[in-house]
Chains A and B, each alone.
Chain A
Amino acid sequence: MQEPPKSSDPRKYLDPKFLSKIARLEVKARLIVEGFISGLHRSPYHGFSVEFAEHREYVPGDDIRHIDWKVFGRSDRFYIKQYEEETNLKAYVLLDVSESMAYPHAGIGNASRAGDDARPSKFEYGTFVAAGLTHLLLRQQDAVGLTLFDEKVRTYVTPSSNPSHLSILLSEIERAPLRQKTNVGAIFHEIADRIKKRGMIIIVSDLFDSLEHLKRGLKHLRYKGHEVIVLHVLDDDELSFPFQRMTLFEGLEGYPELLVNPQSLREAYLEEFHGFLADVRRICRDLRVDYVKLSTADALDVALSAYLAKRAGTQRT
């Protein structure tokens, strides 16, 4: 395990490229959260606090780790920090493990470009997000569950707020294969049917599926009263289509291959792709689903901040 240097900026733990070098997901998760928290004071999200809600006087039997020593220093009295109580928030992380999420490392023989190896795949990035969120959620004593899906639900872990739940969830993530197509609409319906109580649905996916299915699925989730955050994970290549040479694009998830001069299609592709993004954004907006576009080159704090903002909003209501 690669321990971060003590003198380094913790925010680097939010750098996906840095995280790619760390083998264990659990470590990544911890580093993400620590980096995130340490950076909150300097971040625009500093209004959010995750430390404690109030003090109460110490009674024997309390965990001495929770003694607020600053208060003791001021008052000579022992007080216990009382964290926010559980609000019975259950968060469900829906992580897309379809084949498209493997880009750019999908398959053997993928032509390598400069930065391909350093840049994480969408799935890797998604795992960073999922791991970080999971860790953060558990730290805040929220319950978090995990669903891994492609065209079907591959793994479903019921939410739990037990801190040891993290390793369970992370190990499930690490085991996920990326082979199948995506069918987000159907998955959302299934999840919507499965989850009885309201909670927070955090979707980590590239959403490469039918917009109509996506819309119906999200609508179903909203209908069930869930708070939904869509963390739309995309690769920088998909966003900018930077290819120059004649390229044989081999479609993932059953799409055909296409030999084309990328330069001649770039403008049209971007138009299509950004049109897709706009549609997704519109759908989310219309359904009052929080939408965050994430590039695999972006730092992880964006994802975590989005959760916190949503969390805060939920509390106020």
Chain B
Amino acid sequence: MGQFLSQFFLNPAMLLGTTLVALPIIIYLLNRRRFQRRRWAAMEFLLRALKRNRRRLQVQNLLLLIVRCLIVLLIVLLAARPVSRLSVLNLSPDKSQNWILVLDTSYSMGYVESSRTLFEQARETVFSMIDDLLRSGDQVAVLAIDQHPRTILAPTRLDEEGRKSLRREMEALRLSNNSVDLGASFAVLDELCGKFVSSLGEPEPKRIVFFSDLQRKDWIGEEGPKSPGLPQFMEKIQKEGGTFAFAQLGVHDRRSNLAVTDLSVSPALLAKDLWVELRATIRNFGDEELSNVDLSVRVDQAPGDAAAEPQVGQVIRVPPGEAITRSLPIRFDTAGYHTAVAEIRSDDLAVDNLRYLAIRVEDSVKVLLVDGNPSGDPTERATFNLQVALEPDDDSLAKVQGRFTPFETQYVTPDQVAGVDLKEHAVVILAGVAELDANALASLESYVRRGGALVVFLGPNVRPEFYNQRMHGEGEGPHLLPTTLREVHGDKRYPVNLQISDLSHPLVQYFSERKEVTHIERPVISFYEYYQVAPIAPDLRGVRVAFRFNDAQKSPAVFDNAYGAGRVLWITSSADGQWNEFANWPDFVVFIYESISYLVKFGMSSSNLGVGDPFRKTYPATQYAADILLTAPARPSETLEGPRSVRKAMKSLASPGSTGAAAADTEFELTHDDTDVPGLYRWDFQRTQETSGNSVEQFAVNLDTSESDLRPLTDEDLKSAFELLRYERFDASARIRDLKEKSDIARGKEYWRWLAGGVLLLLLAETVLAWLFGRSVK
């Protein structure tokens, strides 16, 4: 009954006042009980008068009573605010609608504008749509998009329970710490669209509303639209009678943002007592220069630790669109895991103002040099230049306080490789090695696959058949050697030089930024002979060509490829001076250092992860720990509860049924997938006396700061990238206002003005009638 009445009255509870209609009747009856007595002589005339006027009096009394009751009734109705519902609900010309609300939950939606984040604005808009725009009978689904797009609410009919479910899901929804994968998001959206079908199986029209900050970088990449199939998808939606809209969030089209985009240590190879540089990079993603930017760097301290002063506190100026890097020289006195945190003062997007770094400091960085040209005379060895570069003689170089290089080299010949525990070495360098026996190759493959770094210099002793058949092998790969070696090329009369092939290659960056100093592309670095390799396709996964020779074929000179968790760097010429003057190049040492740093960084990738990347690390049996506690940073919604702790266990990687030595060689894997919160994670291992290893390890999780580029997608961008795109801008507040106005019209407006007029008229009528009926004849 209440629901029925609420269709016609805005305040149906006031209808309880209709009981007051009896008030005039009660007053009339009470008044008849309050009278004076009078003995009257001329009663005959009174009776005659009454007889003559009885009916008239009755009518008058009744009329007055009715008028008074009507006054009360109209006042009650006035308070109840009646409306006409003829056009709104079932009689409304608009049918129920299907809605898909797409909410961007990438971290850029945490941008604060007008004291609320864009995500909060989006959520509040959805709440107001639930209350005022979405009607009973509508179907609604909600999709959250970020790196892992997912359906939050499957198509749900909006009855009382449906609204509660929608509200509940919206209240529970949280921002992620990653960016939007538009392609995957549209795939999930397409699948969700398929669930809106009629009873006959026909697709139903859908209104898709995007609640997103519409970052340009999500939609348009350097090579064009990131989701080329979008226009076709939208056309399909529109052919089905649906619409596509972008919700208006915030008021500003341009949003500035500062982010700490990088925190690294250079060189990446760290050993104790070695001076290194801690580098923090701050990028200004906005259009205006930002000065007075406070940068603080803490080493081995927690952010927000009030008791500790930062090691670095700088005020820097960052021009628009540019990145500034600041360095802090640092030396670690102890081996083990160390941490660094770089922080800038908070701006409107706070989550990217912090960056974390887990640093593993070794006692030494062990490098295994495998010499393909062993000789009693060290100067004749293929690895001689490398040896000198990596571990210079103490007598030849003045030692600065601490040590000069972190490296500790071990020299072996190819036949000794199989007997070496490669895991103890950060890098293995093959210098002009002809071939390896099967065990050595297997050991090498295992080593690299598990995160090891391998550098291979070719040379005159190399047997291409071995490399092509064993290191490259058949099939698609992956292989240690991503391509095949062809013939040796070169002419001593016409030496070739290096050319930068991939400017974005980390190995190249150092040199390209210092071209004039390093002369990387000048003829000072002459290569006379080198192996040509089969062309490496540009899109060959995991392979990058850093340098090429400036020959007619632009032969790859330096390239690297992924192999398992590790990486292999190939130099198609020799390490010694037989084929080139590479070692004579003053920056040869730097090249080697940078190469190793680049490779070892990949091997150390388990210590520094991106948000959502799983932690995976294998441990030998000797490092097994039965009791492991992981302490992870608190989620933003659970900050008050502090860091989270969880017990973990290592998983044996032994083959089932393995025994004896095989069992003894078992490795153990430690994994953790829940890395959705950026920060420092800490492992505490309880090891027995029989096992060894660090009792504490740490790893860092950082945001992908590409999401920090808040430049919005403009209509021009959409038009130029997606020619056929038809969409609308969705302003929920305006829609709600419009609907209310339409509803007012459909309702024929409220009747309160009419009722108020009626009350006034009746009051006037009552006064006049009472005077007329009760007037005296003079």
Contact = CB atoms under 8 A, between A and B. Distances in A.
Interface of A: 99-103, 106-107, 109-111, 122, 206, 208, 235, 238, 243, 245-253, 255-256, 258-261, 263-273, 276
B47 A255 contact: yes
A252 B41 contact: yes
A106 B34 CA distance: 22
A265 B35 contact: no
Contacts of A267: 775-777
B686 interface: no
Interface residues of B, number: 29
The 10 A-B residue pairs whose C-beta atoms are closest, nearest first, are A251-B43, A268-B49, A255-B43, A100-B41, A263-B774, A103-B41, A249-B40, A246-B35, A269-B49, A272-B45
A279 to B, nearest CB: 12
26 contacts: A100-B41, A103-B40, A111-B38, A208-B41, A208-B44, A235-B41, A246-B36, A247-B36, A247-B37, A248-B36, A249-B40, A251-B43, A264-B60, A264-B773, A264-B774, A265-B49, A266-B777, A267-B775, A267-B776, A268-B50, A269-B42, A269-B49, A270-B777, A272-B48, A272-B52, A276-B45
B399 interface: no
B724 interface: no
Interface in B128-163: none
Contacts of A109: 37
Interface in B762-778: 773-777
B762 to A, nearest CB: 20
B57 interface: yes
Interface of B: 31-32, 34-50, 52-53, 57, 60-61, 773-777
A270 B35 CA distance: 21
A258 B35 contact: no
Contact of B39 (A101, A107, A263): A107
Contacts, number: 114
A106 B40 CA distance: 8
A252 B36 contact: no
B57 to A, nearest CB: 5
Nearest to B60: A264
A266 B773 CA distance: 10
A255 B44 CA distance: 7
Nearest to A242: B776
B57 A265 contact: yes
Given A245-B36, A269-B49, A272-B52, 10 more contacts: A111-B38, A246-B31, A250-B37, A250-B38, A252-B40, A260-B50, A261-B774, A263-B774, A264-B57, A273-B45
Given A260-B50, A264-B57, A265-B57, A246 B41 contact: no
Contacts of A245: 35-36
A258 B47 contact: yes
B38 A249 contact: yes
A224 to B, nearest CB: 28
A263 B43 contact: no
A272 B775 CA distance: 17
A106 B41 contact: yes
A50 B57 CA distance: 55
B35 A259 contact: yes
Contacts of A107: 39
Contacts of B60: 264
Contact of B37 (A110, A252, A269, A271): A110
Contact of A111 (B34, B36, B43, B52): B36
Nearest to B53: A268
A245 B35 CA distance: 7
B50 A265 contact: yes
Contacts of B38: 110-111, 243, 247-250
Given A208-B44, A265-B49, A265-B53, A103 B39 contact: yes
Contacts of B35: 245-248, 259
A267 B35 CA distance: 20
B46 A258 contact: yes
Nearest to A269: B49
B35 to A, nearest CB: 4
Contacts of B36: 111, 245-248
Contacts of B40: 103, 249-252, 255
Contact of A122 (B39, B41, B47, B52): B41
